[in-house]
Amino acid sequence: MSNARKKSRKTNRMRKIVLGILTVLFITLGCISWDALAGSKSDSTRGNTTMLKHIFKDRKIGHQNSVGKKDPSKTPLETGKVVYLTFDDGPNPIASEKILSLLDKYNAKATFFMLKPHIEQNLDIVKKMVDRGHSVGSHGVTHQVSQIYKSPESFASEMNDTLAVINKATNSKSHLIRAPYGSKPYITAPFKAVIKRDHFNLWDWTVDSEDWKLANGAFVNNTIQQVNNLVDTRPLVVLMHEKPTTAAHLEKLLEYFQKNGYEMKALHDSMEPIQF
């Protein structure tokens, strides 16, 4: 074999070796880049999911006194086997009487956040609530987002008007209020300013019974499940409504609380409010 042919074959082998090495390097770099990209996307997805979970949790479960700084004169709510029952949108001439009777039967106290037009039509029921040791507060006048949240002053006006009717009818002095549909996202900084100015005690909740939706009585188990998840970790402030369907199934819930050693107490102005 000539020297020229030997040299040519040697050159071809070197080219193949170099090409193989470059191919391996290319594949390796590609894999590293893909892993880094996939990891980045995965981290981003996990971050977004976590953020959404926190947003939902903050809306679902209230925290104590997020409107301004904590007031040292306020007493924190009890945790453990103490439940604070609250009812919105009343009074209702059919539901309220039955609810009051059931609360008496199970030695339970509750808090009623009521609407001005319903109060004016049922003043005797409101008086009965206070006479039996329950707490009463304002839920506004219109219950319409476009009206009550039109401005901070419209919010303050609805709450003050309703409290004035309550306090005159019951010869009491309540500053308890609950924002329609809850404080989040409606109660922004300007609204917090008028709440502080007018000495309102704004209450949300930690347990949403969803009785307005689960009208067939399923709200009872829904409430019990949430209570069991939160007991000993957060105050148990239960949201319900003065509706005939709620009154029809309420005894099952009260019976559960009584049999399992829960005290059922009312909210007061001296307590530190729960807010979203």
Answer positive or negative: Cα dihedral of 95, 101, 106, 109.
positive
Q: Measuring CA to CA, how many Å separate 271 from each of 77, 106, 171?
A: 6, 23, 21
- Residue 54 is a catalytic residue: no
Q: Which residues contact 236 (CB under 8 A, 6 or more apart)?
A: 79, 82, 83, 84, 206, 207, 227, 230
Is 241 known to be catalytic? yes
54, 58, 88, 269: which one is catalytic? Answer: 88
DSSP 8-state assignment for residue 178: -
Which of 118, 134, 139, 241 is an active site residue? 241
Tell me how crowded residue 223 is: count the other CB atoms within 10 A of its CB. Answer: 26
DSSP-assigned letters across all residues of 103-130: HHHTT--EEEEE-HHHHHH-HHHHHHHH
DSSP code per residue over 129-151: HHHTT-EEEE--SS--HHHHTS-
Distance from C-alpha of 82 to C-alpha of 101, rounded to nearest angstrom: 20
Q: Write out the catalytic residue numbers.
A: 88, 241
